[in-house]
Amino acid sequence: MKNSSFFDVIIVGAGASGLMCAVQSARRGKKVLLLEKEQQVGRKISVSGNGRCNLTNARVSAADYYGTPQLAQAVLNQFSFQDCLSFFHDLGVLTHEEGLGRIFPLTGKSSAVVEALRLACLENKVDIRLGSEVKKIEKKNNFKIILTDGTVYMAKYVVLACGSKAYPQVGGTESGYLLAKSLGHHITALTASLAALNVKEKAVSRLQGIRAQVQVILNNGSEKEVSGEGEVLFTHYGLSGPAVLSISSAIGKELLKGPVNVSVNFFPQIKDMTTFIKQRISTMPERKAKDFFAGMLHENITNLLIDFCGIKKNILVKDWTENLIKNVSKTLCAWPFTVLSLRPWTEAMVTAGGVNCAEINYNTLESLRCPGLYIVGELLNVDGRSGGFNLHFAWGCGYVAAKAMPEE
């Protein structure tokens, strides 16, 4: 009989990947220990989606991921949107779909998801130990896990589900990367993702608090356009909102080279803005600029546009020159901003970069450098767009790793 400190599986981190892996491993008959350095499970889940937990997306695909999308595809092949929905429905979590395929718990609270996972762990006899921080992991025949308080556990398999350094106020640290490195892995450059943008243009503060449905485009000279559509929130420091967060990972990588240019298209649904403006002028020729844009733009955006394009406030729109019409049209479809930096780690929801996925078996998430070690979730060099994609990947990783471990 095994002693009380020996487990089939020890999972380090009780976040999304860790909780899923614990439930699935226990269901497969394994003796599971789940170690969490915080005093509660799922802290980051609790704050996700502004406390509502956007737990997956009906349109999830590998195209929604940066870093190593091929690994994301391998996970999606084994854990689809429907698999995710069925899993949570079986746990008793009712869900509903909102815009852009985003799935939320029907209660509107992330606690519904966290509590369902916690109860599933308890019902499947997962041993959860809170306030347990792992200091060191050694591997001989089995794994030896040493906590900061000196406690020692042994296991056949170890799963690193420590999460990333994002959101340190809810437990984000670099500890998982350090543990992975100690077991032979390399870490790619870490940058913030799902983070707002600090921009050079001070005039953006005139738009503070305004929200608009737009397209944000990263102008980095690449053949493949990187853009995000949805809501943008203008702030005193720059740009935020889902349309920005979705491409912040790519922007973060470009920022390693220096300032980055982005543009905001206020009317992505209009394919020929110059023609549209001319037609609008023909229907309201006697209006001045401010009234001309009424019903089209927020008043503060109109005022900034007038200043930005040098429009004379008292001139009638029928007297606008061809060059002015073209300038206005171009600005509305590609308003330029210079990104100086991403917002700090305390405001970043996800980390781009992580464990080099070339050192991971895509189909099992087992380490190619340390057999019996599985690395999952945000620790890997995979990050998704805003909209439930990162949580789906985390659930999927936990599922894949548990499924891959040999049956007892």
User: pLDDT tens for residues 38-55?
Assistant: 999 999 999 998 899 999
Q: How many CB atoms lie within 10 A of CB 112?
A: 22
* Cα 61 to Cα 66, 72, 390, distances in angstroms: 11, 8, 11
Q: What six digits make up the tokens of 334?
A: 């590609």
pLDDT of 2 > 50? The answer is no
Q: How confident is the model at residue 1 (pLDDT cuts 50, 70, 90)?
A: very low
pLDDT exceeds cutoff 80 at 222: no
> What is the pLDDT at residue 386?
87
Each residue's pLDDT tens digit, 259-287: 999 999 999 999 999 999 999 999 999 99
Whole-number average pLDDT of the chain: 95
Cβ of 220: how many Cβ atoms within 10 Å?
Answer: 16
Residue 262 CB coordination number (10 Å):
26
pLDDT tens digits for 289-335?
Answer: 999 999 999 999 999 999 999 999 999 999 999 999 999 999 999 99
Range 204-230 average pLDDT: 89
Q: What's the token pair of residue 217?
A: 């485009």
Task: Write the CA distances from 77 to 129, 358, 359, 400, integer angstroms.
Answer: 32, 18, 20, 10
Q: What is the pLDDT of residue 407?
A: 80
Q: Scanning the structure block, which residue is given the tokens 């042994």?
A: 154
The per-residue pLDDT for 39 is 95
* 77-89 residue pLDDT tens: 999 999 999 999 9
Beta strands 56-57 and 102-105, pairing class: antiparallel
Q: What is the mean pLDDT of residues 375-384?
A: 96
Q: What percent of the chain has pLDDT over 90?
A: 88
Question: Tokens at residue 286, please?
Answer: 């006697």
Mean pLDDT calculated for residue range 172-195: 94
From 399, 393, 407, 320, select the one nearest 364 (Cα to Cα).
399
pLDDT at residue 172 in the model: 84
Rounded-to-integer distance, Cα 22 and Cα 146, Å: 20
Domains belonging to the chain, first-starting first, are 6-191+348-404 (3.50.50.60), 195-267+338-342 (2.40.30), 273-335 (1.10.8)
